[in-house]
């Protein structure tokens, strides 16, 4: 979702900000803009469309100036157009703002500003905020920093902000509440961004602002304080990934690169945590809360999107191996339902970005109600990672493609390790079974590699369905959440309507949709549901549906029934989700490419959903 970039230093700001915005494109956006202070004057460019459109707007012009802010906007208030694009400049031109988040009471503020003579160019809450800060600055005769704090004390809502005051052209201001903002610390220069990706090539020193903090950056230093004007000592953390890891590395799309990275990302999630010789699982990040997990009455898993599907796999894992009652909830539903949570409950939040607004709000609510809250996050230092009592980083590396792939398999591996570690401590899993699963986990990277080797065949299968308008995905047991995930992947990037269903539920509705145009992707590996799923395939074929079956290597029975089969290596049924999802990721990828869709930045979607 919206992205912020800011720069102050000795270099020319424009190219640094442009590059930073390109780094943030993956978050999803529909317009972009930059404001720089060029020879003491404000220079503003913004437009609907891509960062490349913004570059075209200034082609041939030289833009100097070593202080500026930029933004990629994902529309919430007001349609995506040139006027509503950020930065927004206040009526008298003194305050320039880029903003992520939503100012909920902007209508009330707008009305009072109108009464004071303000007029507005667009419909956004951000323009109102710029005017509000300016109004305070001009009428109360305070510094820009003070005006920002007075305004933010009156604002209800969420914000990550980059602000310039044209009267104070050597300062760059930032503020945060609910929407992330990080400051990169260089030598005599500072970078500001919504996440570390625009910063990593300049410095590995990062300061994450906390909620209700304001930062003032000058070429001489950084000053952080809270909204009550109390000074805060900055905590500098180290960026843990390299600039190389956020490039496409020779692949046509980030999504394809990330799918192919899974053998490594899975190994990275397990690295140092599974010790083969001693058959032990060491999860340092949750060791302190392990007694709580072992004695928990219930684990409530809370997440959104793909992370929610990983949570559903977690339900099967925790129930089977740790014998703990599990509920899996969409964060957006959970947070508003006044759920019954006690101190005996553990709430496990799963989030790739660690910034999803609903998941973060659910975490805070569960904490307030006394639950122990544990996180599984990919982005180190993210809000969710920082606010949970304990957690596991997936260490899958930066995920740039909007459609989540390697983050999913790493989340499931993290959940598997957790379930086995807890099950072992609770005495609910036999030694032999435990050892079998440890070996199975360690073999996974190699097995995923084998699935990836079949990509040419998967591409051919995809070709047959590139014109489909609908699709059904069926799976049972551990593979039911994978069916949901397969359908989500197809919807997200190829815009084909797709539904995931437990295979046995097909008879309760989806079967009515089946005709000779309907592809049905069936997860039909040799597990305890095999015969039942074969029956489902026959039911689809009897109605002339097209069946693509994901089967265990060497299966000849289904090969006779289905239109296409895609083989995956034999593996323990509890570990199958991490293998079986890979062909589904590839199918959606290939179909989307064949349909000429924007794979890495699908329309209307955002990588990191920082507003509810």
Q: Show the site string, 255-294: x = touches ligand G6P by CB under 6 A, - = not.
A: ----------------------------------------
Determine which residue in the list 353, 372, 410, 416 makes contact with ligand G6P, applying CB under 6 A: 353
585 close to 492: Cβ distance less than 8 angstroms: no
Instruction: Give, in degrees to the nearest 5, the angle at Cα 170 between 167 and 174.
Output: 90
Q: Tabulate helix, strand, coil % of the chain (nearest 5).
A: 40, 25, 35
**18-46 burial by CB neighbour count: b if 16+ within 10 A, else e?**
bbbbbbbbbbbbbbbbbbbbbeeebbebb
- Of 351 and 494, which has the nearer Cβ to ligand G6P? 351
332 lines the binding site for ligand G6P (CB under 6 A): no
Determine which residue in the list 352, 394, 409, 588 makes contact with ligand G6P, applying CB under 6 A: 352
User: How far apart are CB 608 and ligand G6P at their closest, in Å?
Assistant: 6
607 lines the binding site for ligand G6P (CB under 6 A): yes
Cβ-closest position to ligand G6P: 305
8-state DSSP, 517? T
- Lookup: tokens for 111: 């009305």
356 lines the binding site for ligand G6P (CB under 6 A): yes
28 close to 605: Cβ distance less than 8 angstroms: yes
Q: Got the DSSP string for 451-503? A: HHHTHHHHHHHHHHTTT-SEEEEEE-GGGHHHHHHHHHHHHHHH--EEEEEEG
User: How far apart are CB 162 and ligand G6P at their closest, in Å?
Assistant: 22
518 close to 525: Cβ distance less than 8 angstroms: no
User: How far apart are CB 246 and ligand G6P at their closest, in Å?
Assistant: 16
483 lines the binding site for ligand G6P (CB under 6 A): no
Interface stretch with ligand G6P, choices 232-240, 262-270, 303-311, 389-397 (CB under 6 A): 303-311
Determine which residue in the list 160, 162, 285, 305 makes contact with ligand G6P, applying CB under 6 A: 305
- Lookup: tokens for 113: 């500003």
Q: Is 367 a catalytic residue?
A: no
Q: Is 2 a catalytic residue?
A: yes
Determine which residue in the list 90, 307, 462, 552 makes contact with ligand G6P, applying CB under 6 A: 307
Burial, 283: exposed, middle or buried (Cβ in 10 Å; 0-12, 13-18, 19+)? Answer: buried
Interface stretch with ligand G6P, choices 14-22, 350-358, 423-431, 514-522 (CB under 6 A): 350-358
Restricted to residues 96-155, the positions that interact with ligand G6P (CB under 6 A) are none
Restricted to residues 375-404, the positions that interact with ligand G6P (CB under 6 A) are 402-404
- Spatial distance between the Cα atoms of 139 and 142, rounded to a whole number of angstroms: 8
Determine which residue in the list 359, 372, 416, 462 makes contact with ligand G6P, applying CB under 6 A: 359
- Of 403 and 534, which has the nearer Cβ to ligand G6P? 403
Length of the chain measured in residues: 612
- Spatial distance between the Cα atoms of 353 and 609, rounded to a whole number of angstroms: 9
User: How far apart are CB 438 and ligand G6P at their closest, in Å?
Assistant: 27
558 close to 534: Cβ distance less than 8 angstroms: yes
* H helix intervals, 48-162: 51-57, 106-115, 125-140, 144-154
306 lines the binding site for ligand G6P (CB under 6 A): yes
492 close to 441: Cβ distance less than 8 angstroms: no
Determine which residue in the list 194, 351, 416, 462 makes contact with ligand G6P, applying CB under 6 A: 351
Q: Which of 46, 257, 406, 607 is catalytic?
A: 607
- Of 90 and 383, which has the nearer Cβ to ligand G6P? 383
- Which residues pair with residue 33 across a beta bridge? 46, 71
Q: Which residues are catalytic?
A: 2, 607
């Amino acid at each position: 979702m919206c992205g912020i970039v800011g720069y102050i230093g000795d270099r020319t700001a424009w190219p640094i900000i442009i590059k930073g915005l390109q780094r943030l494109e993956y978050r999803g956006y529909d317009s972009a803009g930059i404001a720089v202070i060029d020879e003491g004057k404000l220079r503003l460019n913004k437009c609907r469309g891509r960062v490349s459109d913004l570059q075209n707007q200034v082609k041939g012009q030289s833009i100097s100036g070593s202080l500026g802010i930029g933004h990629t906007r994902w529309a919430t208030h007001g349609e995506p157009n040139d006027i509503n694009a950020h930065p927004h400049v206040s009526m008298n031109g003194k305050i320039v703002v880029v903003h992520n988040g939503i100012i909920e009471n902007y209508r009330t503020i707008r009305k009072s500003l109108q009464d004071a003579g303000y007029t507005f160019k667009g419909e956004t809450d951000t323009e109102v905020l710029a005017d509000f800060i300016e109004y305070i600055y001009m009428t109360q005769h305070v510094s820009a920093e003070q005006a920002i704090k007075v305004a933010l004390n009156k604002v209800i809502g969420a914000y990550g902000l980059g602000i310039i005051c044209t009267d104070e052209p050597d300062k760059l201001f930032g503020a945060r509440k609910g929407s992330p903002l990080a400051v990169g610390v260089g030598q005599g220069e500072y970078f500001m961004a919504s996440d570390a990706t625009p910063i990593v090539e300049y410095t590995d020193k990062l300061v994450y602002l906390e909620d209700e903090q304001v930062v003032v950056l000058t070429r001489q230093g950084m000053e952080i304080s809270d909204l009550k004007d109390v000074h805060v000592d900055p905590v500098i953390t180290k960026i843990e990934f390299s600039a190389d890891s956020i490039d496409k590395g020779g692949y046509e799309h980030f999504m394809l690169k990330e799918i192919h990275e899974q053998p490594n990302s899975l190994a990275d999630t397990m690295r140092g945590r599974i010790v083969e010789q001693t058959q032990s699982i060491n999860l340092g990040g949750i060791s302190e809360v392990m007694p709580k997990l072992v004695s928990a009455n219930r684990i409530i898993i809370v997440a959104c999107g793909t992370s929610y599907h990983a949570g559903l796999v977690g339900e099967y894992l925790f129930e089977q191996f740790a014998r703990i009652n599990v509920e899996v909830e969409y964060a957006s539903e959970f947070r508003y339902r006044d759920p019954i949570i006690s101190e005996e409950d553990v709430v496990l939040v799963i989030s790739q970005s660690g910034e999803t607004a609903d998941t973060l709000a659910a975490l805070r609510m569960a904490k307030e109600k006394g639950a122990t809250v544990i996180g599984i996050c990919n982005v180190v230092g993210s809000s969710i990672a920082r606010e949970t009592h304990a957690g596991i980083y997936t260490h899958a590396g930066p995920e740039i493609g909007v459609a989540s792939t390697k983050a999913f398999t790493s989340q499931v591996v993290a959940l598997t390790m957790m379930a086995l570690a807890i099950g072992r401590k609770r005495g609910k899993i036999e030694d032999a079974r435990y050892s079998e699963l440890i070996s199975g986990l360690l073999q996974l990277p190699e097995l995923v590699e084998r699935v990836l080797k079949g990509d040419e065949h998967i591409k051919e299968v995809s070709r047959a369905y590139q014109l489909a308008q609908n699709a059904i995905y069926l799976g049972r047991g551990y593979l039911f959440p994978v069916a949901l995930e397969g359908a989500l992947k197809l919807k997200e990037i190829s815009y084909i309507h797709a539904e995931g269903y437990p295979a046995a539920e097909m008879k309760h509705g989806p079967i009515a949709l089946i005709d000779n145009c309907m592809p049905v992707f069936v997860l039909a590996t040799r597990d305890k549901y095999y015969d039942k799923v074969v029956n489902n395939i026959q039911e689809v074929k009897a109605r002339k549906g097209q069946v693509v079956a994901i089967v265990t290597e060497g299966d000849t029975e289904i090969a006779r029934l289905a239109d296409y089969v895609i083989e995956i290596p034999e593996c323990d049924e509890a570990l199958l989700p991490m293998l079986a999802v890979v062909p589904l990721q590839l199918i959606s990828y290939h179909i989307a490419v064949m349909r000429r869709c924007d794979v890495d930045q699908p329309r209307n979607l955002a990588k990191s959903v920082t507003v509810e």
